[in-house]
Amino acid sequence: MANDREVLREVWDGRLPIKFSIAEEDRELLLMEKDPYYILVPRMTYLPLLPVKKHFESAIPVTDSSDNQPTELWFSYQDVPLKWQIPIGVLYDLVGGDTLPWEIKLRISDFPADKLARLGTTIEETVRSSFIHNVKEAGYMKHRGAVMMHLLPDQHTQLWRGLHRDKFDDFWKINHRLMEHIDNAPYRCVPFRIYTGIHDRYIQKFFKPMTEDEKLTTLGQLLKQFKPEAVVELEETDDPDIIKSYEVAEGWKVKIHGIETPMNTPIQWLSEHLSHADNFLYIVVVKISS
Amino acid sequence: MGESSKRPQLRTWELIYSGTWPKQYAEKLRQRNAKETAPYKDVFTSFSSLYNTLEQYRGKIKKLDYENLRRQEDIKSIISDPGKKLTESDKNFLALQQENIQLIRQHETTQREMLRMAMKVKDVASKETQIIALEGKCFRLEQENGVLRDEFTTLQLMCKKLEEDNKNLMMENQHMVEKILLHKKEEVDVINMHNETMKKLKEHQMFYELESARKEDTSPDQSLSHLYMTQGSQLDNISLPRSRLGGSNSSAGAAVRGGLFSRLFRKSESESDDHESRHSSVSSRCRLYSGPAIIPGNVANKVEQHTSELYSLAFSYQGTMFATGGADKCIKLWRSSNLPNVDSIATLTGCNAGVMSIDIDERDQFVVGGSNDSAVRMWQVSGGQIRSTFMGHDNKIYSVKFYSHSQKIVSGSHDRTLRLWDVRTSKNVRTIFARSSCHDLAVLSEQGTDIVSGHFDKRLRFWDERQDTSSFEMLLDGRITSLDLSGCGKFLACSCKDASTIKFIDLKLRQAIATFTADGLRMGEHTRCSFSPDGQYIACGSTDGSIFLWNTRTLKREEVPKMHSSAVPVVKWHPMGQSFISLEKSKKFYVWTDV
């Protein structure tokens, strides 16, 4: 039962300072010069939901000069196109580096269709359906969709609105139910995604929060199973309940919500407290570049 | 599925939740936030607020720009217009500002009032439904009221009108009464005056006659026959109540002799013609006495007193006087006691048009005249005043006759009716619709059971005054202009204009027993033929001035010298038969004697 509100609150309150500006290469397409836009952004939200477009709207031509299509906006950081499906916090953990504020460039031309999904014209609706889809997927993994099936369309909307409008209480009113344990049992599987790079395929597999002999599984075990090169097994275990303990291998970094997580955290607890708004636990595993 | 049904032990959950993880993670997250968020939070939030205010200002500026633009346009338009508008608009602006302030204050009060009103609106709504119902009722009542009011006004109008009519009639009535009174008074005055003058006249006359009688006494060398004649006539006068002769001995003696003479005459007449005398008892029309009639041969007197054409002539029963009438609207009464000399007795005036027909009553008291002014008038011989006026005809009256011993009058008119009048009451007793213009009448019996009328449609019609339809009709040769009854009452002479013939009709047989005609006989519209008193001759005047005369026994024509120069409408013998009078159209009449 997710009842540690302090953690939830801290997770929710995670903000990133971001500086949005038009990319150098697109500057000549602008109708007028625009100052960069600084904004403190929740880690849980998605890029297209930010009021960036509104700021730059007056400067952006309505149609693309080359193919006469409506201008498509996309974001990049150091020439890396940023996927809008991934929460901003995860994006930052993946590619952000250490400098803050995070300087994201706004692109209005050369849309990298091979790397990014198109948003279409109804941006919010697209993001919303992607989000709800993820929630459903996670629900299915956790309790075969038992809770999700009983939610009314209104409650879906409430969940989404809670995220979109940064309303913690509204969001958790619904999300609380999604995090329930059915019959006092842990989740069937823990919905997680391991990101190793922004354009690498994420790892999403079935992983039980408890072993058959009723031992809790940990993050370390999870990584051992799906990303074995990132962890190393420790020989001694000081906890009798945990089968084996691991630690992050040298040259690797494992981040959830921007923090380096202890490897022997039970995965059930992590899922309940550190999942993103779409109920997935995003685990960023990156190599530290020397 | 077996795995999912496994229940974790309580310990397991304790492990999860009571572990150090929450604190650890909370700490880590706080550290993260402290690193990532806290340093930037102030700057970014202030940026955000600044940005927002900037945006707000931008919006405002935009709006102001737009407004400014509009104002500038307004100003431009104002400037392009006559300059005075600007100052005016400035003034207006100030006024409007003040007004605005006032309006705001008003708005506040009205808002307060509106609240109160809102409370009231509920009540009003419920009342409105009541009002609607009442309005419906009211409307119906108003309609009814309107109808009633209309009725009332029409009634009022009617009432007013009737009242007015009533008033008018009352006034008229009063007026009439006054008029009548006035007229009566005038009438009385006139009659009084007339009586007085007549009295004076009579005294004068008496004086004159006494004077002349005295003269006669002194000149006894007059011829006997002449004496007889005059005294005989005077005797008749004496027999009437209206005697005007006081008695000198000599004249009284003469009168007795005259009376003897006449009685003798009468006796011989009745012996000679038994039938005639019997008939005379039936009809007083028949002259009691008539000597042998003369054939006119010599004009002894020409009288020209009328001022216009002559139409009618009538002798009194005893022949003591006669009346003439014509277009000069008056009737002149003449004394005929010493023909051929005539003296005027009176002039009867009052007609408004020519006199077409005259009759004198049995006792020489009244003269009746039918005039072209549609009225029948009756005058008193003594005094000459109008006694009665008989109104009723619609057109010219061509013929009037006394009958029923002068108690009644019958008149025939161009309006195709005959009217019977009562002399005493002056009322129209009966109207007979004769279907054609009546030109002359003859009364066969005093009871009025046999009245003959001659018509324009060539017919003779026989009437009984008690019946509406004619008992008998006779078709003659032409338009009938005159009828004359013979002295014995058995025969009727009838002049027909178109054929210029005179029919000699036996009334018993009711057919013409002879037709007289002659070359040169031309009849006028109102030519009247005449029997001699003894029934021996029929005479008729012609339009050329000649007079034609036929013997009814021999049916031959007798010559009469032509003396008139213009048309002769009427000829007549004196009832005694000793003289003959013919009227000429040109204002004069001739008195004829034997040759």
CA distance B212 to B246: 13
Instruction: State whether residue B50 sits within 8 Å of chain A by CB.
Output: no
Using CA coordinates, name the residue in chain B closest to A274: B25
Q: What is the pLDDT of residue A255?
A: 86
Q: In what order do the strands lie in the sheet with B298-303?
A: B298-303, B589-593, B580-583, B570-573
Which three-class secondary structure string do you get for B52-86? HHHHHHHHHHHHHHHHHHHHHHHHHHHHHCCCHHH
Instruction: State whether residue A188 sits within 8 Å of chain B by CB.
Output: yes
Residue with tokens 């903000």: A15
Compare B396 and A53 and report the one with higher pLDDT.
Answer: B396
Instruction: State whether residue B28 sits within 8 Å of chain A by CB.
Output: yes
Q: Check A208 against B3: CB less than 8 A apart.
A: yes
Q: Check B44 against A186: CB less than 8 A apart.
A: no
Residue B246 CB: number of other CB atoms within 10 A? 11
**Which two three-digit tokens encode residue B66?**
């737009």
Distance from CA of A133 to the nearest CA of B (A): 24
Average pLDDT, chain B: 81
The answer to whether residues B277 and B270 touch, using CB atoms and an 8 Å cutoff, is yes
Helix, coil or strand: residue B591? strand
Instruction: State whether residue A36 sits within 8 Å of chain B by CB.
Output: no
Q: Check B37 against A184: CB less than 8 A apart.
A: no
* B202-255 per-position pLDDT tens digit: 899 999 999 898 888 765 554 444 444 444 444 444 444 443 444 444 444 444
Residues of B in contact with A16 (CB under 8 A): 36-37
Using CA coordinates, name the residue in chain B closest to A239: B15
Compare B11 and B481 and report the one with higher pLDDT.
Answer: B481
Q: Check A258 against B32: CB less than 8 A apart.
A: yes
Name the pTM for this structure: 0.43
Helix, coil or strand: residue B39? helix
Instruction: State whether residue B32 sits within 8 Å of chain A by CB.
Output: yes
The stretch B119-136 carries a mean pLDDT of 87
**Which two three-digit tokens encode residue B397?**
């009256």
pLDDT at B326 over 50: yes
Instruction: State whether residue B59 sits within 8 Å of chain A by CB.
Output: no
Instruction: State whether residue B62 sits within 8 Å of chain A by CB.
Output: no
Q: Give every residue of chain A whose pLDDT is below 50, as ranges.
A: 1-2
Cβ neighbours for B338, distance < 8 A, ≥ 6 positions apart: B229, B230, B233
Q: For residue B156, which amino acid is it? A: Q
* A138-186 per-position pLDDT tens digit: 888 888 877 777 888 888 888 888 888 888 888 888 888 888 877 777 7
Instruction: State whether residue A40 sits within 8 Å of chain B by CB.
Output: yes
End-to-end Cα spacing for chain B: 187
Distance from CA of A184 to the nearest CA of B (A): 7
Instruction: State whether residue A213 sits within 8 Å of chain B by CB.
Output: no
Residues of A in contact with B51 (CB under 8 A): 37-38
Instruction: State whether residue A81 sits within 8 Å of chain B by CB.
Output: no
Residues of A in contact with B43 (CB under 8 A): 17, 38
pLDDT band per the 50, 70, 90 thresholds, residue B368: very high
Q: In what order do the strands lie in the sheet with B375-380?
A: B355-360, B366-371, B375-380, B386-391
pLDDT band per the 50, 70, 90 thresholds, residue B144: very high
Q: Check B36 against A269: CB less than 8 A apart.
A: no
**Which two three-digit tokens encode residue B202?**
């009579």
Q: What is the pLDDT of residue B520?
A: 83
The three-point CA angle B420-B423-B424 to 5° equals 130
* B100-116 per-position pLDDT tens digit: 899 999 889 888 988 88
Residues in chain A: 290
Is the four-CA dihedral B571, B577, B580, B583 of positive or negative sign? negative
Distance from CA of B2 to the nearest CA of A (A): 10
For residue B261, give the nearest of B292, B225, B294, B223 by alpha carbon.
B225
Bridge partners of B343, per DSSP, are: B335
The answer to whether residues B289 and B334 touch, using CB atoms and an 8 Å cutoff, is no
Within 359-398 of B, beta carbons closer than 8 Å to A belong to none
Instruction: State whether residue B48 sits within 8 Å of chain A by CB.
Output: yes
Q: Check B6 against A210: CB less than 8 A apart.
A: yes
Share of chain B above pLDDT 90, in %: 15
- Dihedrals phi, psi of B418, to nearest 5 degrees: -115, 140
Using CA coordinates, name the residue in chain B closest to A96: B36
Bridge pairing between strands A15-22 and A102-107: parallel
Nearest residue, CB atoms, B21 vs list A16, A260, A265:
A265
Residue A161 CB: number of other CB atoms within 10 A? 15
CA distance B387 to B380: 6
The region, left, alpha or beta by phi > 0 then psi within -120 to 50, assigned to residue A150 is alpha
Helix, coil or strand: residue B495? strand
**Which two three-digit tokens encode residue B204?**
């004068």
CA distance B575 to B531: 10
The stretch B503-518 carries a mean pLDDT of 87
Interface test mutation site (partner B, options A211, A214, A215, A238, max chain B beta carbons within 10 A): A214
Instruction: State whether residue B24 sits within 8 Å of chain A by CB.
Output: yes
Q: Check B29 against A7: CB less than 8 A apart.
A: yes
As for the ipTM of the complex, it is: 0.80
Q: What is the pLDDT of residue B161?
A: 94
Q: What is the pLDDT of residue B277?
A: 39
* B272-314 per-position pLDDT tens digit: 444 443 343 344 444 445 568 888 888 888 888 888 888 899 9
Q: Check B33 against A40: CB less than 8 A apart.
A: no
Look up the CATH architecture of domain A7-115.
Roll (3.10)
Is the four-CA dihedral B474, B478, B483, B487 of positive or negative sign? negative
Nearest residue, CB atoms, A269 vs list B4, B5, B21:
B21
* B148-187 per-position pLDDT tens digit: 999 999 999 999 999 999 999 999 999 999 999 999 999 8
The answer to whether residues A182 and A143 touch, using CB atoms and an 8 Å cutoff, is yes
Compare B22 and A275 and report the one with higher pLDDT.
Answer: A275
Q: Check B19 against A266: CB less than 8 A apart.
A: yes
For residue A246, give the nearest of A257, A266, A258, A262 by alpha carbon.
A262
Instruction: State whether residue A147 sits within 8 Å of chain B by CB.
Output: no
Residue with tokens 């979109």: A164
Distance from CA of A159 to the nearest CA of B (A): 23
